Structure 1
Amino acid sequence: MTAAINWLDLDGVVNMRDLGGLPTTDGTTIREGRLLRSDNLQDLSPSAVQHLVEELVLTDVVDLRSHHEVESEGPGPLHAWSRVAHHHLTLLPDMDASSGPVDALLVKRDRARRDDDHWASHYLGYLEHRPESVLAALRVITQASGATVVHCAAGKDRTGTVVGMALAVAGVTESAIVADYAASAQRIDQILARLAPRPTYAGVLKGDPSRQRPKAESMARFFRALHAKYDGPEGWLASHGWSDADRQELRAALRD
């Protein structure tokens, strides 16, 4: 059982959706209006911002972009709203001053340690390089008084990793998590069209655009690797200090 994709077609984003309605293993669902995922928020129109803040009651933004991205793109329009808390929690390692923009957008991993799926390997790299950011993002989602939006640039890889971990803890079925992740493929052309003209992303997006298209197997392999190495997402979290009380609080925050 999976849920219909609840796209939020707001002016200035192309990959935003509400994760409400996703099914859990014990027959409940994720509550609507609690957890949103999105591509870059820099281009949101005034009407879109107003809709998010006043109608969807957005209170928290989890920004997973690198320091370079935030510096080069500048503050987005949601920063003008004092009622919205911004949490910059990069999933990438800090780079030195000599690093270029492409370096600031990639996870460098030892080839011998890579999973045989390119993107699954990157997702494991996010957990290895920035466990503190993953845990902090889950705590924001747990403690937010209203809706939380998790975003990066495209809203598919870094966002997919953190959202996937949150949904797993909330008890969402793995098939539904994988299907939600793969849904970004439906809008990959629009996503790339938004990012390619920006100098921040132009170098990363060179080459075969099909490599950027999310595939269900990538998220499935990521979860298989977590199960093999850590006894699943919750096992990884427990190894980094996540408690059963944390689990229960996140479930209470997200589930109907």
Structure 2
Amino acid sequence: MPVSCWTPRPRKVQQVTTPLWIELDGVVNMRDVGGLPTTDGGQVATGRLLRSDNLQDLTEADIDDLVERVGVTDIVDLRSNVELQLEGPGPLRAHNLTHHHHSLFRDDVRAVTAEEALVLPWSKKDQAAADADPRLDDDYWASHYLGYLAHRPDSVSAALQVVSQSRGATIVHCAAGKDRTGTVVGLALSVAGVSDEHIVADYVATGERIERVVARLMARPAYGEVLAGQPMDHHRPKPQTMQRILSVLTEQYGGAAGWLSAQGWSEEDITALRDSLRG
């Protein structure tokens, strides 16, 4: 049976950097971002937005916990088409939840082979491409995150629309729950009015469990060979990476809300996303 520590209660301001981990048997990096303070004295609502590593190993008890107690209604899957093919549909597909697949990989806009498409941020092939081509940013990971915004704004925008319109809690996940998930969640929190400092703190919280995250992925068919031999420090989230993303959004768009406006969101749409996260 899972040992769950999640309870729908707000955190005090002095405890905002303590993640609301959701302890289940089938994931190691799931947490509720509720309780984070906003700059106007409010806070993000609990039971609205959860972030997670991949959901392939969830048990029936885990699923019952998420659906019945946490109130999950929507799943946003940011993995590539090829990841889905290699990993299979996952146990949540058999349940009455709404699934939304929004890949952040550029190659998923056209048909490609598995070898071409499965270029994960930590893969050797991706590192070779990084060495050969101009980067979007000097920070290796920030370059990836900015790439998601530049090459798949449709998917980032669609993922945030799900959060805005969900009738219950939304789980946003990818493989590790760090990079693609971190980008989407970072934008959502920024629109909700969370300070950059607290968005960065939420992002780096994955570092508390990065060894377990990598160990989980090593056992999965889509990731084991790609991860073999990678140093652990390569995967550990660093504050300057998320700081860089937030700075670029501010410099180029006036913030995350401005980026959404550039994607065609109306003021009413942006307000709806903000309100959905504020409860």
Range into which the TM-score falls when normalised by the shorter chain: over 0.9
1:167 aligns to what?
Answer: 189
Please give the per-residue CA displacement for 1:70-92, whole angstroms capped at 9, x wherever unaligned. Answer: 1110011111112x100000000
Report the Cα offset of residue 204 of structure 1: 2.9
Contact 1:102 1:204 in 2 (8 A): no
Report the Cα offset of residue 149 of structure 1: 0.4
1:205 aligns to what?
Answer: 227
2:217 aligns to what?
Answer: 195
**Is residue 51 from structure 1 mapped to residue 73 from structure 2 by the alignment?**
no
Alignment-mate amino acid for residue 77 of structure 2: D
Closer, same or farther: CA 60–41 of 1 in aligned 2, 3 Å: same
2:246 aligns to what?
Answer: 223
Contact 2:82 2:114 in 1 (8 A): no
TM normalised by structure 1 equals: 0.94
Aligned partners of 2:216 and 2:117: how far apart in 1? 17
Aligned partners of 1:113 and 1:43: how far apart in 2? 35
Report the Cα offset of residue 101 of structure 1: 6.5
In the alignment of these two chains, the number of paired residues is 255
Please give the per-residue CA displacement for 1:158-196, whole angstroms capped at 9, x wherever unaligned. Answer: 000000011111111111110000000000000000001
**Is residue 75 from structure 1 mapped to residue 89 from structure 2 by the alignment?**
yes
Alignment-mate amino acid for residue 65 of structure 1: R
Per mean C-alpha deviation after superposition, the further-off stretch among 116-125 and 235-244 is 235-244
Aligned partners of 1:253 and 1:238: how far apart in 2? 18
Identity of aligned residues (%): 53
1:19 aligned to which of 33, 41, 48: 33
Which blocks of at least 5 consecutive residues in structure 1 are unaligned?
A: none
Aligned partners of 1:64 and 1:120: how far apart in 2? 17
Aligned partners of 1:137 and 1:236: how far apart in 2? 14
Contact 2:218 2:227 in 1 (8 A): yes
2:50 aligned to which of 36, 50, 57: 36
Please give the per-residue CA displacement for 1:31-78, whole angstroms capped at 9, x wherever unaligned. Answer: 110100000000001100000011111100000000011111001111
Contact 1:68 1:104 in 2 (8 A): no
Q: SS of the residue aligned with 1:248?
A: helix
Contact 2:48 2:168 in 1 (8 A): yes
Q: SS of the residue aligned with 1:91?
A: coil
* Aligned counterparts, 1:153-164, within 5 A: 153-164=175-186
Aligned partners of 2:265 and 2:151: how far apart in 1? 17
1:176 aligns to what?
Answer: 198
Contact 1:3 1:21 in 2 (8 A): no
2:112 aligns to what?
Answer: 97
Alignment-mate amino acid for residue 251 of structure 2: A
Root-mean-square deviation over aligned CA pairs: 1.7
2:172 aligned to which of 150, 171, 174: 150
2:136 aligns to what?
Answer: 114
Closer, same or farther: CA 199–78 of 1 in aligned 2, 3 Å: closer
Report the Cα offset of residue 137 of structure 1: 0.7
Which blocks of at least 5 consecutive residues in structure 2 are unaligned?
A: 1-12
